[in-house]
Structure 1
Amino acid sequence: MRATGSAWFTSSYSAQNGECVQARRRTHDGIDLRDSKDRDGPVVAVGVHGWGAFTVALRDGSFRAR
């Protein structure tokens, strides 16, 4: 198991219905993501560069429905 740098958190932008993605920052090397409904389930580990590219694409509209 990887050492983490912070506790799990849910974005303040998430709906308060319990169907959210939770995240935690890993020390130096990225972020972990999980389903808030399945806290013992799988975790997606994303590196620093991948997370940065993903958030840039979200901000610039790359994921808009066409």
Structure 2
Amino acid sequence: MQDTTLTWRKSSRSGAAGHCVEIAEVPAAVLVRDSKDVAGPVLAFGNGDWAGFIAGIRSGEFDRPGR
């Protein structure tokens, strides 16, 4: 998605290696793309789904054992 009106941002915790995702917020969704492939595919999450995803991250729901 190459919409120049979108403001894409990545986490302040992103490393210098470039293994990052970027997000852009629109009224009904949060868009996610690979920072190394800005012309590539974009995932769209509804606001409720995004909030649930962030809550899962914060609670450790997606943590991998041994990491």
> 1:32 aligns to what?
31
**Cα deviations by residue, 1:13-59 (Å, 9 ceiling, x for unpaired):** 11122221011111x21210000111100000111000000000111
**CA distance, structure 1, for counterparts of residue 62 and residue 29 of structure 2:** 21
**CA distance, structure 2, for counterparts of residue 29 and residue 20 of structure 1:** 23
Identity of aligned residues (%): 37
Q: 2:38 is paired with a residue of what secondary structure?
A: coil
**CA distance, structure 1, for counterparts of residue 64 and residue 17 of structure 2:** 24
RMSD of the alignment, in Å?
Answer: 1.9
**CA distance, structure 1, for counterparts of residue 64 and residue 11 of structure 2:** 22
TM-score by length of structure 1 reads 0.83
Residues 1:43 and 2:66 aligned together: no
Q: CA deviation at 1:6?
A: 4.5
How many residues are paired up?
63
**CA distance, structure 1, for counterparts of residue 19 and residue 63 of structure 2:** 21
Segments of 4+ in structure 1 off by > 4 A?
A: none
In structure 1, the gaps of 5 or more residues are: none
Q: 1:52 is paired with a residue of what secondary structure?
A: helix
Within a 5 Å distance, the mapping from 1:1-66 to structure 2 comes to: 6-26=6-26, 28-66=27-65
TM-score by length of structure 2 reads 0.82
